[in-house]
Amino acid sequence: MAGEVSAAVPAQRIAVIGGGPGGLYAAALLKRLDPGREITVWERNAPDDTFGFGVVLSDETLGGIEHADPAVYAALQDEFVRWDDIDIVHRGLRHTSGGHGFAALGRRRLLEILQSRCRGLGVDLRFRTEAPPAAELSASYDLVVAADGVNSRTRAAHADAFGPHIEEHRNRYIWLAADFAFDAFRFEIAETGHGVMQLHGYPFDAERSTVIVEMREEVWRAAGFADADVRDSIDTCAKIFADALGGRGLTSNNSAWLTFRTVVNDRWSHGNVVLIGDAAHTAHFSIGSGTKLAVEDALALAACLHEHPTTEAALKEYEAERRPVVASTQRAARASLAWFEELGRYLDQPPRQFAFNLLTRSRRVTHDNLRLRDPGFTESVEREFGCPEGTPPMFTPFRLRGLALRNRVVVSPMDMYSAVDGVPGDFHLVHLGARALGGAGLVMTEMVCVSPEGRITPGCAGLYTDEQAAAWTRIADFVHAQSPGTGIGLQLGHSGRKGSTRLMWEGMDEPLPDPDANWPVVAPSALRYKPDNQLPRELSLPELAAIRQEFTAAARRAARAGFDLLELHCAHGYLLSSFLSPLTNRRTDAYGGSPEARLKFPLEVFDAVREVWPEDRPMTVRISATDWAEGGLDGDDAVAVARAFAAHGADAIDVSTGQVVAEERPAYGRSYQVPYADRIRNEAGVPVIAVGAISSWDDVNSLVLAGRTDLCALGRPHLYDPHWTLHAAAEQGYAGPGAVWPAPYRAGSRRPQTGRLDAPKPRLVLPS
For 275, residues 6+ apart whose C-beta sits below 8 A from its C-beta are 146, 152, 154, 155, 162, 265, 268, 269
Say whether 720 is catalytic. Answer: no
Q: Return d(Cα 750, Cα 729) in angstroms, integer.
A: 9
Q: Show the DSSP H helices in 708-756 as ranges.
A: 716-720, 724-731
**Burial bucket for residue 130 (CB in 10 Å: 0-12, 13-18, 19+):** exposed
User: Rounded to 5 degrees, what are φ and ψ at 205?
Assistant: -155, -175
The CA angle 762-765-768, to the nearest 5 degrees, is 140
Going by their DSSP bridges, the two strands 195-205 and 185-192 should be labelled as antiparallel
Pairing of strands 565-570, 619-624: parallel
C-beta of residue 204 within 8 angstroms of C-beta of residue 210? yes
Instruction: Say how far residue 378 (Cα) sits from the centre of its chain.
Output: 22
Where helices occur in 246-360 by DSSP H, the ranges are: 290-307, 311-341, 351-359
Q: Is the dihedral of CA 478, 481, 482, 487 positive or negative?
A: positive
Closest CA to 313 of 444, 482, 176, 143: 143
Q: Specify the DSSP element, H or E, that contains 601.
A: helix 595-612
List helix spans (H) across 344-465: 351-359, 367-373, 375-385, 426-437
Map 449-515 to HEC letters.
ECCHHHCCCCCCCECCCHHHHHHHHHHHHHHHHHCCCCEEEEEEECCHHHCCECCHHHHCCCECCCH
DSSP letters for 77-132:
HHH-EEE--EEEEETTEEEEE----EEEEEHHHHHHHHHHHHHHHT-EEEET-PPP
> Rounded to whole angstroms, how far apart are CA atoms 676 and 638?
8
310 phi and psi, to 5 degrees? -130, 155
Whole-angstrom distance between the N-terminal and C-terminal Cα of the chain?
A: 38
Strand, helix or coil for residue 660: coil
Using DSSP, state whether 535 is helix, strand or coil: coil
Contact 118, 71 (CB under 8 A): no
Q: Which of 141, 529, 574, 734 is catalytic?
A: 574
Whether residue 37 contacts residue 11, with contact meaning beta carbons closer than 8 Å, is answered with: yes
CA distance 547 to 278: 55
Strand 409-411 with 81-83, pairing: unpaired
Q: Are 31 and 123 within 8 A, CB to CB?
A: yes
3 state DSSP class of 622: strand
Instruction: Give the residue numbers annotated as catalytic, written as ranges.
Output: 574
